[in-house]
Amino acid sequence: MKIEKEITHPIHPRHKLTLNYTEAPFNCDGCHEAGIGYNYKCHQCGFHMHKVCAVGAPTITHPFYKKCEFKLHHHPPGQAKRVCDACRTHIHGFVYHCNACDFDLHPCCASLPQVLDDGQHHLYLCHKLSSSCHGCGGKGLGWSYRSKCRTYNLHLSCVKEMLVESWQAMYFNVDKNKVREMVTTIPRLKGSMQDRRGARGAVEKCGRVAGAAARVIISAILGDPSAIVAAVVGGIISK
Protein backbone atom coordinates (compact mmCIF):
# COMPACT_ATOMS: atom_id res chain seq x y z
CA MET A 1 0.00 0.00 0.00
CA LYS A 2 1.54 3.31 -0.99
CA ILE A 3 1.23 6.13 1.49
CA GLU A 4 0.47 9.50 -0.13
CA LYS A 5 0.10 12.59 2.03
CA GLU A 6 -2.83 13.80 -0.03
CA ILE A 7 -5.29 11.89 -2.22
CA THR A 8 -8.60 12.31 -3.98
CA HIS A 9 -11.18 9.56 -3.67
CA PRO A 10 -14.17 8.85 -5.96
CA ILE A 11 -16.64 8.68 -3.06
CA HIS A 12 -15.63 12.18 -1.91
CA PRO A 13 -14.59 13.92 -5.14
CA ARG A 14 -15.13 17.52 -4.02
CA HIS A 15 -12.19 17.82 -1.66
CA LYS A 16 -8.73 16.40 -1.17
CA LEU A 17 -8.19 13.92 1.66
CA THR A 18 -5.06 14.27 3.74
CA LEU A 19 -3.22 11.68 5.81
CA ASN A 20 -4.13 12.21 9.43
CA TYR A 21 -3.43 10.47 12.76
CA THR A 22 -5.88 10.15 15.62
CA GLU A 23 -6.00 8.29 18.90
CA ALA A 24 -9.71 8.99 19.20
CA PRO A 25 -11.85 6.49 17.29
CA PHE A 26 -13.46 7.70 14.05
CA ASN A 27 -16.19 6.30 11.82
CA CYS A 28 -14.88 5.29 8.39
CA ASP A 29 -17.08 6.68 5.63
CA GLY A 30 -15.98 3.84 3.35
CA CYS A 31 -16.68 0.64 5.29
CA HIS A 32 -18.70 2.28 8.11
CA GLU A 33 -16.62 0.51 10.75
CA ALA A 34 -14.73 2.20 13.58
CA GLY A 35 -11.13 3.21 13.04
CA ILE A 36 -8.13 4.53 14.93
CA GLY A 37 -4.61 5.68 14.07
CA TYR A 38 -3.67 6.70 10.52
CA ASN A 39 -6.55 7.67 8.24
CA TYR A 40 -7.43 9.95 5.34
CA LYS A 41 -9.54 12.91 6.35
CA CYS A 42 -11.38 15.78 4.66
CA HIS A 43 -10.87 18.63 7.10
CA GLN A 44 -13.73 20.62 5.58
CA CYS A 45 -16.39 17.91 6.01
CA GLY A 46 -15.07 15.74 8.83
CA PHE A 47 -15.05 12.85 6.34
CA HIS A 48 -12.74 9.96 7.34
CA MET A 49 -11.50 6.81 5.70
CA HIS A 50 -9.31 3.98 6.94
CA LYS A 51 -6.01 3.97 5.12
CA VAL A 52 -6.85 0.60 3.57
CA CYS A 53 -10.34 1.73 2.49
CA ALA A 54 -8.90 4.85 0.85
CA VAL A 55 -5.85 3.45 -0.93
CA GLY A 56 -6.24 -0.35 -0.84
CA ALA A 57 -5.79 -2.25 -4.12
CA PRO A 58 -8.94 -2.79 -6.24
CA THR A 59 -8.20 -6.54 -6.33
CA ILE A 60 -6.43 -8.61 -3.68
CA THR A 61 -5.66 -12.20 -2.83
CA HIS A 62 -5.47 -13.69 0.65
CA PRO A 63 -3.30 -16.56 1.95
CA PHE A 64 -6.35 -18.17 3.66
CA TYR A 65 -8.28 -18.43 0.37
CA LYS A 66 -5.69 -19.48 -2.17
CA LYS A 67 -8.06 -19.75 -5.12
CA CYS A 68 -9.97 -16.54 -4.50
CA GLU A 69 -9.75 -13.17 -6.11
CA PHE A 70 -11.30 -10.48 -3.94
CA LYS A 71 -12.59 -7.32 -5.60
CA LEU A 72 -13.24 -4.12 -3.69
CA HIS A 73 -16.92 -3.11 -3.84
CA HIS A 74 -18.12 0.23 -2.49
CA HIS A 75 -21.46 -1.37 -1.59
CA PRO A 76 -22.09 -4.95 -0.51
CA PRO A 77 -23.17 -6.87 -3.65
CA GLY A 78 -26.66 -8.39 -3.84
CA GLN A 79 -29.74 -7.99 -1.65
CA ALA A 80 -28.93 -10.31 1.25
CA LYS A 81 -27.12 -9.02 4.36
CA ARG A 82 -23.48 -9.98 4.11
CA VAL A 83 -21.24 -11.14 6.96
CA CYS A 84 -17.46 -10.80 7.05
CA ASP A 85 -15.85 -14.25 6.98
CA ALA A 86 -13.04 -13.01 9.22
CA CYS A 87 -14.79 -11.21 12.09
CA ARG A 88 -18.35 -12.57 11.61
CA THR A 89 -20.01 -9.16 11.81
CA HIS A 90 -22.22 -7.51 9.18
CA ILE A 91 -20.87 -5.55 6.27
CA HIS A 92 -22.26 -2.04 5.86
CA GLY A 93 -20.08 -0.51 3.17
CA PHE A 94 -16.76 -1.21 1.43
CA VAL A 95 -16.09 -4.93 1.12
CA TYR A 96 -13.63 -7.27 -0.57
CA HIS A 97 -15.82 -9.89 -2.24
CA CYS A 98 -14.97 -13.11 -4.10
CA ASN A 99 -17.61 -13.62 -6.72
CA ALA A 100 -16.85 -17.30 -7.31
CA CYS A 101 -17.10 -18.40 -3.65
CA ASP A 102 -19.24 -15.65 -2.13
CA PHE A 103 -16.64 -14.84 0.53
CA ASP A 104 -16.62 -11.36 2.05
CA LEU A 105 -13.98 -9.49 4.00
CA HIS A 106 -14.03 -6.03 5.56
CA PRO A 107 -11.08 -4.10 4.10
CA CYS A 108 -9.52 -3.88 7.58
CA CYS A 109 -10.01 -7.61 8.15
CA ALA A 110 -8.56 -8.42 4.72
CA SER A 111 -5.41 -6.52 5.58
CA LEU A 112 -4.86 -7.85 9.10
CA PRO A 113 -1.19 -8.75 9.56
CA GLN A 114 -0.35 -12.46 9.71
CA VAL A 115 1.74 -11.72 12.80
CA LEU A 116 1.20 -9.13 15.54
CA ASP A 117 3.62 -8.34 18.34
CA ASP A 118 2.24 -7.25 21.71
CA GLY A 119 5.71 -6.70 23.14
CA GLN A 120 5.83 -10.11 24.84
CA HIS A 121 4.26 -12.53 22.38
CA HIS A 122 3.92 -13.01 18.69
CA LEU A 123 0.29 -13.48 17.77
CA TYR A 124 -0.43 -15.44 14.62
CA LEU A 125 -3.54 -14.99 12.50
CA CYS A 126 -5.42 -18.32 12.17
CA HIS A 127 -8.16 -19.27 9.78
CA LYS A 128 -9.66 -21.86 12.14
CA LEU A 129 -9.22 -22.19 15.88
CA SER A 130 -7.89 -25.52 17.14
CA SER A 131 -8.23 -24.86 20.88
CA SER A 132 -10.85 -22.87 22.79
CA CYS A 133 -11.03 -19.09 22.54
CA HIS A 134 -10.44 -17.12 25.77
CA GLY A 135 -13.31 -14.81 24.94
CA CYS A 136 -16.19 -17.21 24.27
CA GLY A 137 -14.73 -20.54 25.35
CA GLY A 138 -15.61 -22.05 21.98
CA LYS A 139 -14.00 -22.96 18.70
CA GLY A 140 -16.62 -21.33 16.47
CA LEU A 141 -16.24 -19.90 12.99
CA GLY A 142 -14.15 -16.89 12.12
CA TRP A 143 -10.51 -15.93 12.26
CA SER A 144 -8.52 -15.62 15.45
CA TYR A 145 -5.12 -14.63 16.78
CA ARG A 146 -3.12 -17.25 18.65
CA SER A 147 0.22 -17.12 20.41
CA LYS A 148 2.65 -19.94 19.80
CA CYS A 149 2.77 -20.73 23.51
CA ARG A 150 -1.04 -21.19 23.36
CA THR A 151 -1.47 -18.61 26.14
CA TYR A 152 -3.66 -16.51 23.89
CA ASN A 153 -6.44 -17.67 21.66
CA LEU A 154 -8.85 -14.96 20.65
CA HIS A 155 -11.49 -14.78 17.92
CA LEU A 156 -11.56 -11.46 16.08
CA SER A 157 -15.29 -11.47 16.80
CA CYS A 158 -14.65 -11.81 20.54
CA VAL A 159 -12.09 -9.00 20.52
CA LYS A 160 -14.57 -6.79 18.64
CA GLU A 161 -17.15 -7.59 21.29
CA MET A 162 -14.68 -6.68 24.04
CA LEU A 163 -14.08 -3.39 22.33
CA VAL A 164 -17.77 -2.54 22.38
CA GLU A 165 -18.07 -3.70 25.97
CA SER A 166 -15.11 -1.68 27.11
CA TRP A 167 -16.53 1.42 25.43
CA GLN A 168 -19.82 0.63 27.07
CA ALA A 169 -18.21 0.16 30.46
CA MET A 170 -16.67 3.60 30.05
CA TYR A 171 -20.10 4.94 29.28
CA PHE A 172 -21.51 3.71 32.56
CA ASN A 173 -18.51 4.07 34.82
CA VAL A 174 -15.85 6.43 33.65
CA ASP A 175 -16.32 9.36 31.35
CA LYS A 176 -19.87 9.57 30.11
CA ASN A 177 -19.32 12.60 27.93
CA LYS A 178 -16.45 11.08 26.08
CA VAL A 179 -18.34 7.93 25.28
CA ARG A 180 -21.53 9.79 24.40
CA GLU A 181 -19.48 11.79 21.92
CA MET A 182 -18.08 8.56 20.51
CA VAL A 183 -21.50 7.02 20.07
CA THR A 184 -22.54 10.08 18.11
CA THR A 185 -19.46 9.81 15.90
CA ILE A 186 -19.72 6.07 15.36
CA PRO A 187 -23.42 5.25 14.96
CA ARG A 188 -22.70 1.55 14.53
CA LEU A 189 -21.71 1.30 18.19
CA LYS A 190 -25.00 2.60 19.43
CA GLY A 191 -27.04 -0.52 18.64
CA SER A 192 -24.55 -2.91 20.12
CA MET A 193 -24.18 -0.80 23.24
CA GLN A 194 -27.90 -0.71 23.90
CA ASP A 195 -28.32 -4.43 23.27
CA ARG A 196 -25.55 -5.30 25.62
CA ARG A 197 -26.35 -2.95 28.49
CA GLY A 198 -24.65 -4.10 31.67
CA ALA A 199 -22.86 -7.03 30.10
CA ARG A 200 -19.22 -6.86 31.07
CA GLY A 201 -18.45 -10.55 31.21
CA ALA A 202 -16.15 -10.88 28.26
CA VAL A 203 -14.09 -7.80 29.13
CA GLU A 204 -13.44 -9.01 32.63
CA LYS A 205 -12.81 -12.59 31.68
CA CYS A 206 -10.77 -11.83 28.65
CA GLY A 207 -9.21 -8.58 29.83
CA ARG A 208 -7.41 -10.24 32.69
CA VAL A 209 -6.08 -13.03 30.53
CA ALA A 210 -5.07 -11.09 27.51
CA GLY A 211 -4.51 -7.38 28.15
CA ALA A 212 -1.65 -6.53 25.84
CA ALA A 213 -2.66 -9.13 23.27
CA ALA A 214 -6.19 -7.78 23.08
CA ARG A 215 -4.94 -4.20 22.71
CA VAL A 216 -2.72 -4.96 19.77
CA ILE A 217 -5.49 -6.97 18.06
CA ILE A 218 -7.92 -4.11 18.60
CA SER A 219 -5.56 -1.64 16.89
CA ALA A 220 -5.27 -4.01 13.94
CA ILE A 221 -9.03 -4.48 13.67
CA LEU A 222 -9.43 -0.72 13.75
CA GLY A 223 -7.22 -0.47 10.69
CA ASP A 224 -3.84 0.48 12.12
CA PRO A 225 -1.83 -2.20 13.91
CA SER A 226 0.82 0.35 14.79
CA ALA A 227 -1.57 2.72 16.59
CA ILE A 228 -1.21 3.22 20.30
CA VAL A 229 -4.74 2.55 21.37
CA ALA A 230 -6.13 5.49 23.29
CA ALA A 231 -6.97 5.29 26.97
CA VAL A 232 -10.55 4.90 25.80
CA VAL A 233 -9.80 1.36 24.77
CA GLY A 234 -6.77 0.50 26.82
CA GLY A 235 -7.81 1.62 30.29
CA ILE A 236 -10.32 -1.04 31.08
CA ILE A 237 -8.78 -3.90 29.22
CA SER A 238 -5.42 -3.55 30.90
CA LYS A 239 -6.90 -3.85 34.41
Tell me the C-alpha distance between 213 and 215, whole Å: 5
Q: Which of 9, 27, 30, 76 binds Zn ion (CB under 5 A)?
A: 30
Please identify, using beta-carbon distances, which residue of 47 and 171 lies nearer to Zn ion: 47
Q: Which of 101, 115, 199, 228 binds Zn ion (CB under 5 A)?
A: 101
Chain positions 125 to 154 lying near Zn ion, rule: CB under 5 A, are: 133, 135-136
50: contact with Zn ion by CB under 5 A = yes
179: contact with Zn ion by CB under 5 A = no
Please identify, using beta-carbon distances, which residue of 93 and 234 lies nearer to Zn ion: 93
Q: Which of 27, 28, 112, 147 binds Zn ion (CB under 5 A)?
A: 28
24: contact with Zn ion by CB under 5 A = no
Q: By three-state DSSP, how is residue 49 classified?
A: strand
Strands 34-42 and 12-27: antiparallel
Decide if 156 contacts 86 (C-beta within 8 A): yes
Min dist. Cβ of residue 75 to Zn ion (A):
13
Query: What count of residues does the chain have?
Result: 239
Min dist. Cβ of residue 146 to Zn ion (A):
11
Report the run of H or E that residue 190 belongs to, with start and end. Answer: helix 187-195
**Residue 193, CA distances (Å) to 76, 98, 160, 197 in order:** 24, 31, 12, 6
Contacts of 57 (CB under 8 A, 6+ apart): 1, 72
Binding site for Zn ion (CB under 5 A): 15, 28, 30-31, 42, 44-45, 50, 53, 68, 84, 86-87, 98, 100-101, 106, 109, 133, 135-136, 155, 158
